[in-house]
Amino acid sequence: MFNIILFGPPGSGKGTQSERLISKYGLKHLSTGDILRSEIAGQTQLGLEAKSFMDKGQLVPDEVVIGMISSALENNPKANGFLFDGFPRTQAQSEALDKLLQLKRTEIGVVLALEVSEEELVKRLLNRGLTSGRSDDNSEEIIRARIIEYHNKTSAVAGYYRQFNKVVSITGEGTVDEIFESLCSEIDKRMN
Ligand code: AP5
Ligand code: MG
């Protein structure tokens, strides 16, 4: 089993690259953002609670997303490995994930950290906001709030995994193909 965290700020390309990585490596994609948006679409209690945070560009409380990931791991007992996208986003989430994986007698193989300048992030998300229908993409103020939340709470996740030598930084600017090649080359070095 090989488990990957695809890490990076909002708009860095986690979702785009995840699609390609799961098909190449046969991993199960776990995106907390996608799961939360499907809860909102289904108008569940969890979705209603999460929406108020997401619309402001703030993180949803740890216990909510940790519970979601815990269920997703339980519901996929036969997975070859997981690709975590947008999770963990706080140190508490990182520690909880490590414990959940230990219970499955596995661990994180690598944290691939996409690096993209702030101006490029804002440009990409404003552009996607023209068509995505995502309520957190349609104003520059909310996009900037998401980036601030990333700096204040999420960037520490890389520090947490750095102590275990698991973090590799990847340039997240360039073509989607070029970035995919860089990601695959780091995975291939570690997968065997
Ligand atoms: P989430 O859904 O995770 O969103 P995000 O992290 O803000 O990032 P995005 O999905 O917007 O960007 P991405 O990195 O996936 O980039 P993408 O490939 O789409 O989270 C949303 C919200 O949910 C959070 O704000 C929070 O409220 C809540 N949440 C989720 N997880 C949580 C957690 N663990 N804890 C607490 N709260 C949580 O690309 C972006 C755009 O750029 C696209 O248009 C794409 O086509 C384009 N693009 C991609 N690659 C390139 C390239 N190389 N060159 C040019 N354009 C590119
Ligand atoms: Mg995404």
Tens digits of residue pLDDT in 143-192: 999 999 999 999 999 999 999 999 999 999 999 999 999 999 999 999 87
User: Looking at residue 86, what is its pLDDT?
Assistant: 98
Distance separating alpha carbons of residues 9 and 118, to the nearest angstrom: 9
Distance separating alpha carbons of residues 170 and 191, to the nearest angstrom: 17
Which residues, including other chains, have CB under 8 Å from residue 168's CB and lie 6 or more apart? 110, 111, 112, 113, 186
pLDDT-derived band at 96, boundaries 50, 70, 90:
very high
User: Looking at residue 78, what is its pLDDT?
Assistant: 94
For a substitution probing ligand 1, which of 31, 48, 59, 123 has the most ligand atoms within 8 Å of its CB?
59
Per residue in 28-74, pLDDT (tens digit) is 999 999 999 999 999 999 999 999 999 999 999 999 999 999 999 99
User: Looking at residue 172, what is its pLDDT?
Assistant: 98
Q: Is 59 in the pocket of ligand 1 (CB under 6 A)?
A: yes
Question: Could you say which ligand is closest to the alpha carbon of residue 11?
Answer: 1
User: Looking at residue 93, what is its pLDDT?
Assistant: 98
What value does the mean pLDDT take over residues 110-133?
A: 97
Distance separating alpha carbons of residues 159 and 30, to the nearest angstrom: 22
Which atom of ligand 1 approaches the CA of 32 most closely?
Answer: 31
